[in-house]
Amino acid sequence: MNNRPLRLVFAGTPEFAVPCLEACRASGAEVVAVYTQPDRPAGRGRKLTPSPVKQAALAAGIAVEQPESLKSAEAQQTLAAYRPDLLVVVAYGLILPRKVLAIPRLGCWNVHASLLPRWRGAAPVQRAILAGDAESGVDLMQMEAGLDTGPVLLQRRTPIASVETGGSLHDRLSALGAELLAEGLRRTLAGETLTATAQPDEGVTYAHKLDKAEAKLDFSRPAIELERQVRAFDPWPVAEGEIAGEPLRIWAAQALALDHHAAPGSLLKAGRDGIELACGTGVLRITALQRAGGKRISAADYLNARPDLRRAG
């Protein structure tokens, strides 16, 4: 490489991407611009709010671009004017056309929160938990036109704990992704060309975007599947279910391998340890929940407000 610093453009939007932006800044490369999605309405007042990546970029004094799309010639000319050697993309949320992929001298890298080709797409963290995967990880990938189809440059693996939530795995993979990106940048800045390994054709799965309609718990399903649903959907969209006719948000639950002959959703036991409901197979013990308009509370606190539900096993 020549003596001038690597010119890098970073593209990302949510909190997940912020540690990767910080890794770029700390690498010795020159972060000449940050691309992020346009400000969106957020909160009860629906006030236009900048993305976490935009906030971090502005705090660091980096130029910010927020095009609605990268498909126009004007948007592509703006990007080309930054003369990037490398474009690093982390949970940006916009499709990169072929012409954009061709702008940087070293192409475009993507940090993706799964072990590709498993869980390509928008929600790999939650889908891995829902499926009961034993491990997840992060890939540093050379981008191409397909959805998360490019060759893998570097990979880190991590086990998924039995108590892992969507939030806890998100945070661990965010930090791990930043470490992986930092390694890739360090080796590239040292003059190394990273080996690109094509993804295998077998084992491809797609992590479709989460839909709030998926939050509803179906007690005719096995308890272990419902437990995973509760864990995967913490902190969003949060699982929903009924206890004795009252709709509630379910924040924490545990599957119990217990036999019963009760109808799915029936209340079996309610006490200090939690509220146990019959499932298609096994029992789901709910330990934290939220009433409409209320805060997250323990099952014990809920039962203090509803003593009529207390039932010995």
Q: Is the dihedral of CA 117, 121, 125, 128 positive or negative?
A: negative
Tokens 């080996």 sit at which residue?
Answer: 195
- Strands (E) in the chain, as ranges, are 7-12, 30-35, 40-42, 47-49, 64-65, 86-90, 108-112, 120-121, 135-142, 152-159, 206-207, 239-243, 246-256, 267-271, 274-278, 283-290, 296-298
Token pair recorded at residue 58? 């502005």
Query: Cβ distance 282 to 256 under 8 Å?
Result: yes
CA separation (Å) from 240 to 112, 119, 213, 232? 29, 25, 10, 13
Tokens 């890794």 sit at which residue?
Answer: 23
Find out whether 116 is annotated in a ligand binding site.
yes
DSSP state of 222: B
Angle at 310 between CA 307 and CA 312, to 5 degrees: 160
Tokens 């864990």 sit at which residue?
Answer: 231
Find out whether 267 is annotated in a ligand binding site.
no
**What is d(CA 179, CA 186) in angstroms, rounded to the nearest whole number?**
11
Largest CA distance in the chain: 75
The DSSP string of 99-132 is: HHHTSSTT-EEEEESS-TTTTEES-HHHHHHHTT
Query: Cβ distance 231 to 166 under 8 Å?
Result: yes
Find out whether 117 is annotated in a ligand binding site.
yes
Binding residues: 114-117
Binding residues for (6S)-5,6,7,8-tetrahydrofolate: 114-117
